[in-house]
Chain A
C-alpha cells in the first residue's frame, strides 16, 4: 500500500526516467537526422556550385566531347566514356573470376577453409586505392607495356580495340587495376547469396542425378542470381568512383578512342587532377557538374544493388 510520500517518489522517478528517455531519444534522433542533413548538403553543394555550366550548356554537357579550359568549352562525354569503359572492363575480368571463386568457396571448400580464404579476400577490399595505384604504376604498367599489350596486339590486333600505339598507360590498364579492386566485393556478396540458397535445392538436383557442377550452375546459381547481380552492381559502383588508382595509370587524356591501349580519362580522375587549378567560375563549375554526374550514377547503381540484395535475403528467408 503506497503512502502518499512513496507514491510521489514513484511518480517523480517515472517522470525523470521518462524525461531521460525523451532526452535520449531526441539526442540520438538528432544525430540520425544529421546524416540526412549531410547528404542534403552534399547534393545542394553539387547542384548549386555547378549552376554556371548547367545554365551555359544544359543537357548538351553530357554529350559534348570537347574539354577546353582555355575557350571554356566543356563536355562530359570523354570522362563518362572512360569511366564506363574501365568499369565494364573491370567487370568483364572480375565477374567470371569472382563468381567462380564464390562458387568454390560456397559449394566446394570446407567451412573452415572457406571462412579463412574469404577473410583473406576481404582484406583486398581494405587496401587503400593509392596503394593499388602505386603497384599498378610500377608493376602493372611496365608489364602491360612490355608484354601484355604487345601480345594482345599481335594476336587480336585486327579488332579495333587492340590497335594503335602501346603505352602501358591507358584504358586497358585502368580496367585491369579496377578489376582487382572489385573482385572482393563480388566474391563476398555472391558467396553470401550462394550460401543462402536452401540445401533442399542442391539435394533435389543431386538426387535427380545431376553432377555437382550441374547442380551448382543450373540450380543454385540461378536461385541466387539476384544476390549475384547485386554484387556485380556493388562492384560496379565502387569501380565508377575509384580515383587514385585510376588516375595514376589511365593516361589522363580527354579523348574518346576505340582502342583500349589509348589513354583515356575518368570523371574521378579529372576532378582529382584539375580541381586545384580550375581558374574561373565556369571551369570549376564544369568539374563540379562532373562530380554531380558521378554522384547520380553511383546512387542509381547502388540503389539497384541494394534492391537486388534485399530481394535475395527476403527470398531466402521465406523458406
Chain B
C-alpha cells in the first residue's frame, strides 16, 4: 500500500517536472550584427518546437569564435569568416553556414540635419581616421549640397569588442582608402585612431542615439529599429546607394554564383550599379562533428528551417535573404554534420 502511494507520488512529481526536464538546451554565442534576426528565429523555432531552447548571446563575432574554440557553446556566429589559423586551433573542424545577408550603415545624430546624408568613401575614411574633424568640413558639404551642417566636432563611435561588423567596415575602408589600409587595416579589432568604444552593435547604436553630433557604424536593423538616420554610401560604380533588401541582395549577386565551397567570401565594395558597398554574409559556425546525437539532430533540423522558412523573416527585419544558389549549396553541407 505504501509502495503504491510512493510510486504515485513519484509519477506525479515526474509529470510536473517533465516539461522542464525534457526541454533541450542548446547554447550559442557570437555576432551582434545578426542578433536581431537570430533571436527572432530562435523564438519562433521555440514556438514550433516547444522543447527546444536555443540560447543565443550576442557578444560579438570575436566572442563567438572564442567560445566555439573553448567549447563552451554548441555553435558560434560571426560576420567575419574564421581564418585558417583560427580554424586550426579547433579540434573539430567548423563548417561555415551563411545565414543571412546584411548591410553595415553609417548612422549619425547631427543637430539640425534631417536629410539623408551622402558619404563618399574618402569622407568616411577621413572621419574615422580623424582627419575630418568637424561636421561642416567642406568635404562633407561637397557631397551634400543644401544641407546645413553645424560647426561641431564629429564624435566618432566604434566597437570596443571584437566585431565582425568592424571587420566588414574596415575591410571596406581598406579597399577604398589606401591611407586607411596602411594606417589601420582591416580586422575584427583594430587600433582606432579616434573615437569612443562601445560593446556590440547595440552599444554603438545606443551611444550614437544619445550623443549629439556623433557617427557610428551599425547593421541596418539597429538604425531602423531605433529610428536613427543613416546615410547612403558611394559604391564602386559611383552611385550613392542606401542599404536595403534590394541593394544588399545586389551586392551578393556576383559572389553567389561562384561562392567557394567553404562559403568564406567578402562582398564589400561589390560591382553592380545598385549594389550597397558595405554588405556582408554572416555565418553560423557549426562543428562538423557533434557528439551529442540529440543536439546534432536538433541543430540540423534548425538549419533546414533557417534555409527555408527562416529566410522569410529577413525582409521584415531589414536583412536580405540568401541567394538561392547559396541556399542549395548549404543544404548539401548540412549532411556533413555528423
A and B touch in the complex (CB under 8 A): yes
> Which of B66, B89, B153, B212 has a CB less than 8 Å from the CB of A278?
B66
B198 within 8 A of A: yes
Interface residues as binary, A226-257 with B (CB distance below 8 Å gives 1, 0 otherwise) = 00000000000000000000000001110000
Residue of A nearest to B72 (CB): A276
- The reply to whether A277 and B155 form a contact with Cβ atoms under 8 Å apart is no
A166 to chain B, nearest CB (A): 8
> Which of B67, B191, B197, B212 has a CB less than 8 Å from the CB of A276?
B67
CA distance A280 to B69 in the complex (A): 9
A295 within 8 A of B: no
CA distance A70 to B80 in the complex (A): 14
Which residues of B from 193 to 227 have beta carbons under 8 Å from A? 195-199, 207, 210-212
- The A-B contact count (CB < 8 A) is 70
> Which of B62, B192, B196, B212 has a CB less than 8 Å from the CB of A279?
B62
In the assembled complex, which residues on chain B have CB atoms less than 8 Å from the CB atom of A225?
none
Residue of B nearest to A278 (CB): B66
- The reply to whether B198 and A145 form a contact with Cβ atoms under 8 Å apart is no
B27 to chain A, nearest CB (A): 13
In the assembled complex, which residues on chain B have CB atoms less than 8 Å from the CB atom of A66?
191
B160 to chain A, nearest CB (A): 4
A169 to chain B, nearest CB (A): 6
- The reply to whether A273 and B199 form a contact with Cβ atoms under 8 Å apart is yes
> Which of A141, A168, A253 has a CB less than 8 Å from the CB of B160?
A253
Interface residues as binary, B180-198 with A (CB distance below 8 Å gives 1, 0 otherwise) = 0000010111111001111
Residue of A nearest to B203 (CB): A252
B63 within 8 A of A: yes
- The reply to whether B65 and A273 form a contact with Cβ atoms under 8 Å apart is no
In the assembled complex, which residues on chain A have CB atoms less than 8 Å from the CB atom of B330?
none
In the assembled complex, which residues on chain B have CB atoms less than 8 Å from the CB atom of A251?
196-197
CA distance A166 to B153 in the complex (A): 9
In the assembled complex, which residues on chain A have CB atoms less than 8 Å from the CB atom of B63?
276-277
B225 to chain A, nearest CB (A): 19
In the assembled complex, which residues on chain B have CB atoms less than 8 Å from the CB atom of A70?
185, 187-190
In the assembled complex, which residues on chain A have CB atoms less than 8 Å from the CB atom of B60?
277
> Which of A165, A278, A279 has a CB less than 8 Å from the CB of B155?
A165
* Chain A contact residues: helix, strand, loop or mixed: loop
Which residues of A from 109 to 151 have beta carbons under 8 Å from B? 141-142, 145
A20 within 8 A of B: no
- The reply to whether A252 and B207 form a contact with Cβ atoms under 8 Å apart is no
A96 within 8 A of B: no
Given contacts A167-B155, A279-B62, is CB(A263)–CB(B197) below 8 Å? yes
A274 within 8 A of B: yes
CA distance A274 to B159 in the complex (A): 11
- The reply to whether B197 and A253 form a contact with Cβ atoms under 8 Å apart is yes
**Interface residue tally on B, bucketed by range:** 20 to 34
Given contacts A252-B196, A252-B199, A253-B195, is CB(A169)–CB(B207) below 8 Å? yes
A68 within 8 A of B: yes
Most chain-B Cβ atoms within 10 A of its Cβ — which of A251, A273, A276, A278?
A: A276
A245 to chain B, nearest CB (A): 15
A292 to chain B, nearest CB (A): 20
CA distance A289 to B60 in the complex (A): 23
> Which of B69, B155, B160, B191 has a CB less than 8 Å from the CB of A252?
B160
Residue of A nearest to B197 (CB): A252
B59 within 8 A of A: yes
- The reply to whether B160 and A273 form a contact with Cβ atoms under 8 Å apart is yes
CA distance A277 to B59 in the complex (A): 7
CA distance A167 to B86 in the complex (A): 36
In the assembled complex, which residues on chain B have CB atoms less than 8 Å from the CB atom of A277?
59-60, 62-67, 161-162
- The reply to whether B65 and A263 form a contact with Cβ atoms under 8 Å apart is no
CA distance A251 to B199 in the complex (A): 10
CA distance A68 to B190 in the complex (A): 7
- The reply to whether A279 and B197 form a contact with Cβ atoms under 8 Å apart is no
Interface residues as binary, A53-73 with B (CB distance below 8 Å gives 1, 0 otherwise) = 000000000000010111000
Residue of A nearest to B69 (CB): A279
Which residues of B from 137 to 190 have beta carbons under 8 Å from A? 153, 155, 160-162, 185, 187-190
CA distance A141 to B212 in the complex (A): 12
Residue of B nearest to A168 (CB): B211
In the assembled complex, which residues on chain B have CB atoms less than 8 Å from the CB atom of A167?
155, 196, 211
B109 to chain A, nearest CB (A): 12
Most chain-B Cβ atoms within 10 A of its Cβ — which of A69, A165, A251, A278?
A: A165
Residue of B nearest to A253 (CB): B197
- The reply to whether B211 and A145 form a contact with Cβ atoms under 8 Å apart is yes
Interface residues as binary, A259-286 with B (CB distance below 8 Å gives 1, 0 otherwise) = 0000100000000011011111000000
In the assembled complex, which residues on chain B have CB atoms less than 8 Å from the CB atom of A166?
153
CA distance A274 to B200 in the complex (A): 11
Which residues of A from 145 to 172 have beta carbons under 8 Å from B? 145, 165-169
Which residues of B from 24 to 76 have beta carbons under 8 Å from A? 29, 59-60, 62-67, 69
CA distance A169 to B66 in the complex (A): 28
- The reply to whether B89 and A280 form a contact with Cβ atoms under 8 Å apart is yes
In the assembled complex, which residues on chain A have CB atoms less than 8 Å from the CB atom of B29?
276
B5 to chain A, nearest CB (A): 39
22 A-B pairs with CB atoms under 8 Å apart are A69-B189, A141-B210, A145-B212, A165-B155, A167-B196, A168-B211, A169-B196, A252-B197, A253-B160, A253-B195, A263-B197, A273-B160, A274-B161, A276-B29, A276-B67, A277-B59, A277-B65, A277-B162, A278-B62, A279-B66, A279-B162, A280-B89
Sample of 12 further A-B pairs with CB below 8 A, known A274-B160, A279-B65:
A66-B191, A69-B62, A69-B189, A168-B211, A253-B196, A263-B196, A273-B199, A274-B162, A277-B63, A277-B66, A277-B67, A279-B69
Give 4 closest A-B pairs by Cβ, nearest first: A277-B63, A277-B62, A252-B197, A252-B160
